[in-house]
Chain A
Amino acid sequence: EDKVVQSPLSLVVHEGDTVTLNCSYEVTNFRSLLWYKQEKKAPTFLFMLTSSGIEKKSGRLSSILDKKELSSILNITATQTGDSAIYLCAVVYGGSQGNLIFGKGTKLSVKP
């Protein structure tokens, strides 16, 4: 069965800390991996990763894909309270039309 597993499921840190969120996957015909941030309602796109070993960066957030290990990490440095959210990992896989499945998410709480 195709699946995406995220860890930890929840995390509490203090402002200024650095966090690493993990995503591993088992799918047929992997195509790409996406990270989303969900604060209240709609998830918002962060990164799309297709090539192994190439880091994507946006401000204090960065992510990298390891196709050999079937995993990805999302790093957040110098965390702020505004980083508190659920971080979702999703994988596009399958045949020509593709499909996309999500992990359960990591709930990050950043305390002042």
Chain B
Amino acid sequence: DTGVSQDPRHKITKRGQNVTFRCDPISEHNRLYWYRQTLGQGPEFLTYFQNEAQLEKSRLLSDRFSAERPKGSFSTLEIQRTEQGDSAMYLCASSLVPGVSHPGEKLFFGSGTQLSVL
């Protein structure tokens, strides 16, 4: 399978616990995004990486959230001290951006990690 893969598919945790999700993008893609989606809403941007550099973080991303992409390949998203409001689908997407002045990009999404915080 050469698509974007995310692990785990589902995660149930108790409030206050830490969780970590992993995303493996399409191998030649240089850009990696994290989104959060709740029922009835479109995906909300959290952060993105160009290679290993984290270029932007949304205001939605509180101090409890941290993302890394240490070697410019896979990425991890960690949520510390989870709260019930963190329950959502966490989607990862990747794309190949040719350069600085690109008109747009196509994102390829993984199947997501469904987080339930009890």
B109 near A42: Cβ-Cβ < 8 Å = yes
* A97 and B104 in contact, given A42-B109, A42-B110 (Cβ under 8 angstroms): no
B56 near A97: Cβ-Cβ < 8 Å = yes
Total number of B residues with any Cβ neighbor in A under 8 Å: 29
B42 near A42: Cβ-Cβ < 8 Å = no
From 36 to 75 in chain A, residues with beta carbon under 8 angstroms from any chain B beta carbon are 36, 41-45, 48, 50
A45 near B111: Cβ-Cβ < 8 Å = no
Residue of chain B at shortest CB distance from A51 = B103
Chain A interface bracket (under 10, 10 to 19, 20 to 34, 35 or more): 20 to 34
Asked if B65 CB lies within 8 Å of chain A CBs, one says: no
A100 near B105: Cβ-Cβ < 8 Å = yes
Q: Which residues of B contact A32 (CB under 8 A)?
A: 103-105
Residue of chain B at shortest CB distance from A105 = B42
Interface residues of A (CB under 8 A from B): 4, 6, 31-34, 36, 41-45, 48, 50, 88, 90, 92, 96-105
A101 near B103: Cβ-Cβ < 8 Å = no
Give the CA-CA distance A92 to B40 in the complex, in Å. 22
Contact with A along B31-47 (1 / 0, CB 8 A): 00101000011111100
B40 near A42: Cβ-Cβ < 8 Å = no
Counting chain A CB atoms within 10 Å of each CB, the highest count among B44, B48, B105 belongs to B105
B41 near A104: Cβ-Cβ < 8 Å = yes
Across the interface, B107 reaches (CB within 8 A) one of A41, A50, A96, A100, namely A100
Q: Which residues of B contact A101 (CB under 8 A)?
A: 45
